[in-house]
Amino acid sequence: MTDEMVINLGAEAIKLMIYIAGPMLLASMAIGILVSVIQAITQINEATLTFIPKMIAIVIVLLVMAPWMMELMKSYTTDIMGNASNWVR
């Protein structure tokens, strides 16, 4: 296994991680900003108010995006297992 192969494998893993976690993180960030704006407008400064809306948004995004995420993970794993014999040499 060459250095280029290791770097390529790591880059693909990081890219997959960003694709899988990105939608949930973006939804959480958007809900957090929205709740913060509402808290600033109403002057209700309670830190626990953002937790439940963020969790609901993450669950909804996970339910909607789960088939796509599983397909990405399946294709990555198939690629890794299929090319394992090339890396051992």
Nearest Cα neighbor of 78 from 12, 4, 7, 5 is 12
**pLDDT tens, 21-54?**
999 999 999 999 999 899 889 888 887 888 899 9
Distance CA 74, CA 11 (A): 17
Residue 89 pLDDT grade (very low, low, confident, very high; cuts 50, 70, 90)? low
Range of the domain at 51: 3-81
| Domain count across the chain | 1
Write the CA distances from 16 to 11, 43, 44, 59, 64, integer angstroms.
Answer: 9, 40, 38, 20, 18
- For the entire predicted model, the pTM comes to 0.78
**pLDDT tens, 47-87?**
788 889 999 999 999 999 999 999 999 999 999 998 888 87
Q: 3-class DSSP state for residue 44?
A: coil
Residue 88 included in any domain: no
Residue 69 included in any domain: yes
Write the CA distances from 35 to 10, 11, 20, 52, 79, integer angstroms.
Answer: 36, 35, 24, 11, 41
Residue 75 included in any domain: yes
